[in-house]
A and B are shown apart, each in its own frame.
Chain A
Amino acid sequence: MSGATTELNLATAVDGDDNADYLTLNLANSLRTLDALFNNVSGHNHGAAHNGGQIAAGAIANGTITSAMLADGTIVTADIAPNAVSQLIGSYGPTTPTFSSTTTGTWLNTPITVTGAAQGNPVRVYGFLTWSHSASGAAVDVGLAVDGALSVSFARDYAPFAAAAVSVAFDVLITPSVGSHTFTIQIYNYVAGTASVGTVNAFLGITEVKR
């Protein structure tokens, strides 16, 4: 009687076999067994004993795994490379800046500033500060400058009384060019007197949004 292979129990001929029997029965059955392994539904799946070895990473062509092949909700934080989705470019504070000026009619740099490299994606600029003015009713604008030039103005408030602390919080999106930039909070003082930034903590965060 014929011998048998280890994994699939395929028949192997031995000297005493009848050629016709081996070819028409044993080999034919073995070929059917092999053929069945390539059925697109019930064929071998590399997932259990006698179903072939585990598929090596190199056996799958780069760029061929699609989103549909991933079970929803299975991507966890550890699967995402650091800074792949968003990246902190830099931050200021929370700390108390000290700045006062009598200058009116122009944008003035405050000490609230961050320098860092952008990669051409949208950048989220967020934070808070407190300003005051020596004149009651004085108007002060607050905005963001990139490399010394105003990029966006996002607040205008009026001092309710002299030396009153006026708090401003902001969260804006800009798209600076690729390269290093200096992001600075500026104020614009409309009224004679002293405008100040400080008193309590201020904060500025710059985060690049990549996806």
Chain B
Amino acid sequence: MSGIDVGGKIIYLDQLQADLNAGGVPTPNGISIAGPHQDDASPPPLNAPPLWPSGSLLFTYDNQGNPIDLPPEAQAIVDAYTPVTTLSWRERTTAALEAAQTVKDLEDVLVTAFNAADAPR
């Protein structure tokens, strides 16, 4: 099994599975992503979106529970996948504020939060 490398993408796995199934790639046994270990990783901000580290591999299982590759047509669906956040405006903004490293980051967070369609007015 070689898997599909999804490193660097934000992926909500159940959303991606729905996209695969809608795109003609059935996944009756579910899908999984396994990423490389992150030594000395600091805890991510609370409610941070699931950003997969470089080298993370997507795969599925056969009926015996053995990991197997998805069919080749899954690659295009994975490439086209766009995450739809499940976080609320408050959760997204809180996570972004916690992750901000510079004043410019804070400014960007506030602008994004201000312009968000679901921002409470």
Interface residues of A (CB under 8 A from B): 93, 95-104, 106-109, 111, 134, 162-163, 192-194, 196, 198-201
Contacts and interface: CB of A to CB of B under 8 A. Distances in A.
Contact of A95 (B31, B34, B38, B52): B38
Contacts of B94: none
B32 A108 contact: yes
Contacts of B43: 199-200
B37 A111 contact: yes
A199 B37 CA distance: 11
B39 interface: yes
A98 B65 contact: no
A97 B38 CA distance: 7
Interface residues of B, number: 30
11 contacts: A95-B37, A96-B37, A98-B34, A98-B38, A98-B52, A102-B31, A103-B29, A106-B29, A111-B35, A134-B12, A134-B86
A100 B39 contact: no
Contact of A101 (B13, B50, B53, B86): B13
B79 to A, nearest CB: 19
A95 B30 contact: no
Contacts of A196: 50
B75 interface: no
Contacts of A162: 86
A106 B61 contact: yes
A206 B41 CA distance: 23
Nearest to A104: B30
Contacts of A201: 41
Contacts of A95: 37-41
